Amino acid sequence: MNSYKNDVKEDQGGPVMGQVSNSSPPYKHKAPEVLARSAVPFSERFPIPQDQVGPQHFTKLKLLGKGAVGKTYLVALKGTDKLYAMKVLTKEEMIVKNKVKRVLTEREILATVNHPFIVTMYASFQTEKRLYFITEYCAGGEFFAVLQRQPKKRLKEEAAKFYAAEVLLALEYLHHMGFIYRDLKPENILMRGDGHLALTDFDLSKQAQAVSPRVVSHQMSLLEKIRNNFQGKNVDPSQKLDIVDSEPVLSYATNSFVGTEEYVAPEVVRGVGHSSSVDWWTLGILIYEMIFGSTPFKGSFSDETFSNIIANGVKFPEDVVVSPECKSLIKKLLKRDPERRLGHENGASDIKRHPWFSNINFALIRNERPPIIPSIPDPRDLSLYASLNVEDDDDDVDTLSDWSSNDPSNPFINFNCYRDEKQLGHHY
């Protein structure tokens, strides 16, 4: 539930600158004993020493979102002008709902990744009763809310292409690192204050075996051959070599039913086992939703939606004019047979070469101005927020205990990790 709203299905198989007040709420409770931590070294972006980070150092300003197993808050680091998002999970709930492996997978991903279009984690720690993630605060909020505010909930094609390119780069990176995302949807995409996007919420992601990119011979199209002959060009054979992605490989078949109803791939619905190709299906659904304002297979009820996913081809509304290249890409991504789906063989490399993306400079897109720059009120103005409930105040209060995080019986014993500042070379 790292996004600010979460409604994923269950797995059935298995900041902004300015001074913030440093006054603390008038708690009578003792500060919670921090039992384990993971943090990047002391830095300007997260100015607190690794051996001191804990919930008592943060002031909750606003509840950003509440999911099935946790809450995410906008918090201020006391004594500084720094704002972060703090995700809080209760250990008991994670154990009862059999989600221990999921939260450890999410911690593993957030502790590993370093990418401009993936949310940055600064620290993770645990007390006797709770688990905490401290991540960057994406002031633009959920991309879902951004789409809902557009006329007819639609983006212009070029705007959708820009955001699709950023998401594609994030998925490409995750696959390169050996992770299958499995839950792409607008609610799991955040918009930073500058308008760029960041993927979040990795509790449904799957660890696979990363495979190194390959060098392959690029077959020139007939049009390329005619153009070169007409221009009298002798093409160097070395210029026909491409570096292409290799998709991550699962060491075993997974039949887990995971994802969000309108986004799940046909192979997930059928329960026949799925691979990294599910991410390219969901990319096709996302592009469709951005442009047409709805998902292509939505039915009146769940079974109808699943039936449409399995049996129906994609149809395009006649009242929205889009390019043939756009329709072509969507159709190729929404192939029901995952082995025929674009991206199955060479991953993001094949998708980036599709003609729809011909005017996108993937290498420089992070430096381009996004189509939408969010209008952001001063997050330090507490009059904007409703008062937090008592249970929200209680979330970061634990009684002191002699319990140790290194106790072998602690299922979250590996929750703590260490990230070197060098791993966070970007600053978005």
Catalytic annotation, residues: 183
Instruction: Report residue 65: phi and psi, to 5°.
Output: -170, 155
3-state secondary structure the chain: CCCCCCCCCCCCCCCCCCCCCCCCCCCCCCCCCCCEEEECCCCCCCCCCCCCCCHHHEEEEEEEEECCCCEEEEEEECCCCCEEEEEEEEHHHHHHCCCHHHHHHHHHHHHHCCCCCECCEEEEEECCCEEEEEEECCCCEEHHHHHHCCHHHCCCHHHHHHHHHHHHHHHHHHHHHCEECCCCCHHHEEECCCCCEEECCCCCCEECECCCCEEEECCCCHHHHHHHHHCCCCCCHHHHEEEECCCCECCCCECCCCCCHHHCCHHHHHCCCECCHHHHHHHHHHHHHHHHCCCCCCCCCHHHHHHHHHHCCCCCCCCCCCCHHHHHHHHHHCCCCCCCCCCCCCCHHHHHCCHHHCCCCCCCHHHCCCCCCCCCCCCCCHHHCCCCCHHHHHCCCCCCCCCCCCCCCCCCCCCCCCCCHHHHCCCC
Q: Which amino acid is at 111?
A: A
User: Who contacts 108 (Cβ-Cβ below 8 Å, separation ≥6)?
Assistant: 207, 417
Residue 303 burial (CB count, 10 A): 9
Determine contact, residues 146/101, Cβ cutoff 8 Å.
no
Buried b / exposed e across 107-135, counting CB within 10 Å, b at 16+? bbbbbebebbbbbbbbbbbbbbbbbbbbb
Determine contact, residues 186/147, Cβ cutoff 8 Å.
yes
Structure tokens that stand for 101 in this block: 């492996």
Determine contact, residues 282/213, Cβ cutoff 8 Å.
no
